Amino acid sequence: MSIDWDALRVRARELCTHAYAPYSDFPVGAAALVDDGRMVAGCNVENAGYGVTLCAECGLISDLVATGGGRLVAFACVNALGEPLMPCGRCRQLLYEFGGDDLLLDTPQGIWPMSRVLPQAFGPDDLTHVTGR
Ligand code: THU
């Protein structure tokens, strides 16, 4: 499956302009390619209760599930300068659930697989291994 990284970056930058980030003044936009060719996206949404803040990746995962699910193939996230931004630790875990080791990420150091961004990740297989479910 061919990946149009420029299209993902453009969409992520677009989403960044929709972010609600009045507290940090740090808008984030994210976009990803799904294995059926769909593109999903999200932006960060902050809250007066700071800890309630939703990262852009949360919106993206919600978009993925709400529009039919599937596996994430490629992911791009940007800051307000339009530069690639690494997902925070929690969001690496969120993305891992739906993309696994092979999900490709647009990082400041180039395209990296999730296996390198979140090595030896905990995931659904760890649960199945023990519970058999
Ligand atoms: N943020 C994201 O949206 N994604 C990340 O992976 C890193 C951080 C947001 C959360 C908060 O609204 C702002 O960036 C500053 O931390």
pLDDT in tens, 10-25: 999 999 999 999 999 9
As a whole number of Å, the end-to-end CA separation of the chain is 31
Instruction: For the chain, give the mean pLDDT.
Output: 98
State residue 83's pLDDT score.
Answer: 98
Is the distance from CB of 32 to CB of 7 less than 8 angstroms? no
Whether the Cβ atoms of residue 59 and residue 30 lie closer than 8 Å to each other: yes
Determine the Cα–Cα distance for residues 91 and 133; give it in Å rounded to an integer.
25
d(CA 109, CA 106): 8
Which residue lies with its CA nearest to atom 7 of ligand 1? Answer: 88
**Where would I find the H helices in the chain?**
5-16, 56-66, 89-99, 114-117, 124-131
Q: How many angstroms does the Cα of residue 19 sit away from the middle of ligand 1? A: 10
Secondary-structure breakdown of the chain: helix, strand, coil percentages, each rounded to the nearest 5:
40, 25, 40
pTM for the model: 0.97
Could you read off the pLDDT of 62-103 as tens digits, one per residue?
Answer: 999 999 999 999 999 999 999 999 999 999 999 999 999 999
Q: Is any atom of ligand 1 closer than 6 Å to the C-beta of 56? A: yes
Q: What is the token pair recorded at 27?
A: 């808008």
Q: Is 21 in the pocket of ligand 1 (CB under 6 A)?
A: yes
For the stretch 54-68, pLDDT in tens is 999 999 999 999 999
